[in-house]
Structures are given as structure tokens and as C-alpha cells.
Structure 1
Amino acid sequence: MADFAPIPRRRCRAPVRLLGLLLGLLLQPGHADDAAEANTKANYLYNFTKFVEWPAAADTLHICVVGSEAVVNILSDLASRDTKGRLLQIWSGVDDPHVCQILYVERTVAELPALMREVSGAPVLTVSDADGFAEQGGAVGFYREQGQVKLSVNPEAVRKAQLKINALLMEIARIVR
């Protein structure tokens, strides 16, 4: 009878740490303060770069933010961090939304419906805090519950954008159809 040695288990800690960071964002105390909300949204947008796969792996990821200078400023500070070995560029506003890998449009921006139509079917992760955004065809919606910013994800919109979202992110989001 042959002796079999147990195979050592390798643990991949990076996804667990990233999930911990996202959960930490979810569990932080809710604040009515706009700066705290902008910080939470900016951190989510940054972390989406680690949990979403685009069909064409570019050397540069573009996060375009329309309508929130506070989110742009916070993201600009995060841009120097590692994003899976890619350069991160933050744009305030957008002339051509097709250059964006992530397009965040603040709920107060009147052009939201037009921007959504323009990137329909393109590999752009659409994100907004507009009421019912994911339910109305956006990929990721921010919503508030018990004073906290949370996520809703529309898998059909993600699929139409030819994107893949990591299961760890899907576990912490409310799935909408």
C-alpha cells in the first residue's frame, strides 16, 4: 500500500482582502455627510477595477465621472494605487463615453438617459446613484439603506456590456432583474 502525503493547500489571500475592504465599506457607519458618501462611492468605483473583467485587457483603465467633483478628487488620490498592473486615469466629465471602462453618472445629471443610450452594448460598466438605476437597465446602482451606501447589480446589463463581475462582488450586492 502506497503512502500518500497530503497536498499542501495554497491560499489566495488577495481576493479575501479585497472582499474585506468592500465589506468594510458596506459596514461603515452611515453619514449624512456628502464627503463621506463621496468617499464610499469613490472607493467602490476604484475597487470595481479589481472585480470586473473587460473583453479587451487595456494597459489603461479610464474611470469617467459625470456630475461629482468630490468623487473625482477622491479617485484622483486613489489613482496611484495598483489596479491589477494597469494605469488608472480619472476623467471629470466625458466627451466620448466609449473611452470609459467605468462610467459613473451622478443622479442629478440630466444627460444620464442619453449617456446610457450612447454606451448601450459597449464594454462600459455603467454606475449611478439614480433611483432604480440597475432596475432600469444600468449595470451597477448605488442605493442607501439604513444610512449606508449599498450596491445593486443587474446581471443582464453586465452581460450586454460584455463584462464579467467577480463572484465575490456579486455576493455583497443586491441582484436585480
Structure 2
Amino acid sequence: MIGKVDTLLLVLLTLAYPVYCPAADYAAQAKNLSRAVEYVTWGGDGELLFCVVGRNPFGEALNKTLAGKKLRGRTVQLRYDGGTGGCDLVYSTAKNIITKAKNVLTVSDADGFAEEGGIIQLMGNGDIHSINEKAAKAAGLKISADLLETAKKKVIR
């Protein structure tokens, strides 16, 4: 029979151990973002400027995966200053960064991002959750059918 002291001890021991809660895998997101960009057609040429708005969740993963890499014949440059001017891709962990600028691919892992007008919503493991094809067309971007098929949940048309 368990007494009050034993019960209290059991509760305290349970609270002393951290609960495992899987975090978003931003290294996987960086790799999948690199792959996804290969299936998006932008207008223009020159450098491909990726901008991270707000908190940078990637740490060094984005630099290791994308900085200086050539994608679609354009060299990737990264910017973390929070601005969106001149950006070809804007990433944020918040869904309120949706921009209506032409030739800007918006990406986030925030819940409901694609439904609210963002273009690509990633899942925590880096897989594509949703693609908003209507928003992509409005931004002047062409997303290949191969990339559209990778969306796990839905493609908003």
C-alpha cells in the first residue's frame, strides 16, 4: 500500500525528469528548402537572396546548406537582418510575414501559414506540409508539378 509520503516522492521524481518534446529539425528544413527551390521558377537573374525574418531558428544549418551554393544557376546569399527588400525567398517562424511582393517565395513552419496566404508551409521535420499555388501564381512564381505532389496535406489552388 502506497502512503502519502510515497505518493509525494513518486510525483516529485516524475517532475524531476525532463519531458521529451520533439523540436523542429531545422537542419532537415534547410536541406529540404534547398531541394524545393530547385523546383521553383523565379523571374530575374543574379544572386538568389534568402532572407530570414525574425528569430533565426536554423543556427548554422542554413549557412552550411545554402550559403554560396548555386541553385537554378544562381548563387545563394543569406540575409538575417529582418528586411525583405530585394529578397527572393523570405523565411519566418511567424505566419504574419506574408508578403505580396512579386517574385518572392514565402516559407514558414507556422501552423496555418499556407492557408493565410503564404506559399510553402514546412512541417517540423522539414517535409512540405502545404503549398499555396494561388499565392505562388500571384507572386509570379511557377512551382513544378513534382514539388506540388510532395505536399503532405493539401495544395491550395
Asked if TM exceeds 0.5, the reply is: yes
1: CA distance between counterparts of 2:31 and 2:48?
15
Residue of 82, 90, 96 corresponding to 2:78: 90
Kindly state the Cα deviation for residue 94 of structure 1 after the two structures are TM-superposed: 2.5
- Structure 1: which 5+ runs fail to align? 1-30
Alignment RMSD (CA, Å): 2.2
Structure 1 residues 148 and 44 mapped into 2: Cα distance closer, same or farther (>3 Å)?
closer
Residues 98-156 of structure 1 deviation map (CA, whole Å, 9 limit, x = unaligned): 3111100113xxxx52x32xx31421001111111101111111235xx7743200111
Aligned residue identity for 2:39: F
- Structure 2: which 5+ runs fail to align? 1-20
- Aligned residue for 2:114, secondary structure, equals coil
TM-score by length of 1: 0.66
- Aligned residue for 2:77, secondary structure, equals strand
Larger radius of gyration: 2
Does residue 1:55 correspond to 2:38, yes or no?
no
Structure 2 counterpart of 1:127: 107
Matches within 5 A, 1:32-47: 32-34=22-24, 37-47=25-35
Structure 2 counterpart of 1:154: 132
Structure 2 counterpart of 1:139: 119
2: CA distance between counterparts of 1:85 and 1:72?
26
Structure 2 counterpart of 1:103: 90
Number of residue-to-residue matches in the alignment: 134
Structure 1 residues 148 and 138 mapped into 2: Cα distance closer, same or farther (>3 Å)?
closer
2: CA distance between counterparts of 1:54 and 1:160?
12
Structure 1 residues 72 and 83 mapped into 2: Cα distance closer, same or farther (>3 Å)?
farther
TM-score by length of 2: 0.74
Structure 1 residues 129 and 148 mapped into 2: Cα distance closer, same or farther (>3 Å)?
closer
Contact persistence 1:42–1:72 (CA under 8 A): no
Structure 1 counterpart of 2:145: 167
User: Which structure has the highest helix share of the two?
Assistant: 1
Contact persistence 2:30–2:126 (CA under 8 A): no
Contact persistence 2:53–2:91 (CA under 8 A): yes
Contact persistence 1:65–1:72 (CA under 8 A): no
Structure 1 residues 41 and 93 mapped into 2: Cα distance closer, same or farther (>3 Å)?
farther
